[in-house]
Amino acid sequence: MKVKILSIATAALLLTSLIPVTAGAAPAAKMKRYSVAMKKAHLPSAPNNGTDDYRCFLLDPKVTEDSIIRTIEFIPQKKNYVHHAIIFRVTDADLAEAVVADKNGTGWPCFGGSGLGGMLSTFISSPWLSSWAPGRGKDISPAGYGTPFKKGERFVLQVHYNLLAANGGKVETDQSKIVMETIPAKGARIKQLHVELFPAPVELACPAGVTGPLCDRKQSLIDLAARTSATSAFEAAGINILCGQDPFKPAASLGSRCDKVMTSNFTVIAAAPHMHLLGRTLTLTLNPGQSSEKVLLDVTNYNFDDQSATTLKSPVAVKAGDTIRVECTFDPTLRQKIAQLKSLSPRYVTWGEGSSDEMCLGVIAATKA
């Protein structure tokens, strides 16, 4: 299986949402505001007795000129069970497919990415434009930075509904929206943000004294594929391969680590963590163990409800050949304590798309050197 992590300059995390609300919007007179909502309200429904619904929708913000995105905001209608959202840029190659899949606003299931163009997964070949998770509101690019968006381009909005979090188990329709503000691209002098993704495998055995059929890793992966998609199981194996672990017999551990050697020069502006409900800590380190070692992100008490990014006090230069390490720790005993999880069957937890699965993902916003 050939898998590779892409830096997302082409379309999968030009992530303005990494940049906290800090600085310097362009003059108000030059701003144009675009607001676009899902065409139809969606009633989330999880497949195969699962608890997660990933749904994609094609949205047209009707941008009237080549532009630079200065602010972007995903506004969930149902905040209690919207787990995250990703805004994808639709390329010309995928637009016709997206129009057919969308069925005039009904949308389509899309575990593991947008489901367009044969992508392996959101986190492996990720055509993102922006993303949202709890703790994020309107995202404003610092002065001098922004994201290009062409006249007539469209979004694919992926919304992950975590039905475990529905109030009283009651699931209602959702019709979320995106609001963005732009300035004309003509004459603008900005540095283009792109994003580097740093995933690491997750291999969490059932805690001592906790048993059940899904505590067997193979059975857990079969269940993962059934309630999300087969892509999710391949994704878990692919990340093990990328990080030098045996994808068939990986070692279970409360910690996760992966080193990624950089192939280009860039400057780090900000960084953010992403784990699910069992995550405890996440760090990103440049050149660990070397004299040039520098900690880029150090989250010591991870809170799923606050995944806001940290802007570095000073930008950090990264050169081709440098190594960036992501490390995470987890507490699988929380499955027996957290209200959303404790009613579920015990399981061996791997990397997966569901809220009851896990991730270890560091995200860096950068500019080209």
Residue position matching structure tokens 């209602």: 172
> Please, which residues have CB within 8 angstroms of residue 291's CB and are 6 or more apart in sequence?
none
- Distance CA(108)–CA(157), nearest Å, equals 11
Q: What pLDDT, on a 0 to 100 scale, did the predictor assign at position 113? A: 73
Give the residue ranges of the chain where pLDDT is below 70. Answer: 1-29, 112, 118-128
CA atoms in the 13 A half-sphere facing the CB of 109? 13
Residue-by-residue DSSP string for 214-260: GGSHHHHHHHHHHHT-HHHHHHHHHHHHHTT--SSSPPP-SEEEEEE
> Please, which residues have CB within 8 angstroms of residue 301's CB and are 6 or more apart in sequence?
280, 281
Residue-by-residue DSSP string for 154-191: -EEEEEEEEGGGSGGG----B--EEEEEEEESTT---E
Torsion on CA atoms 207, 211, 217, 220, rounded to nearest 10: -110
Q: Which domains does the chain have, with CATH numbers?
A: 16-192 (2.60.120.310), 196-368 (2.60.120)
Q: Which of 257, 270, 366 is nearest to 318 (CA)?
A: 366
- Distance CA(73)–CA(175), nearest Å, equals 15
**CA Rg value for the chain:** 20
- Distance CA(276)–CA(157), nearest Å, equals 21
C-beta of residue 174 within 8 angstroms of C-beta of residue 77: yes
> What pLDDT digit, counting tens, does each position of 147-198 carry?
888 899 999 999 999 988 887 778 899 999 999 999 999 888 888 777 788 9
Q: What pLDDT, on a 0 to 100 scale, did the predictor assign at position 30? A: 79
Structure tokens at 292: 């040039």
Query: What is the pTM assigned to this prediction?
Result: 0.75
> What pLDDT digit, counting tens, does each position of 44-59 carry?
998 877 888 989 999 9
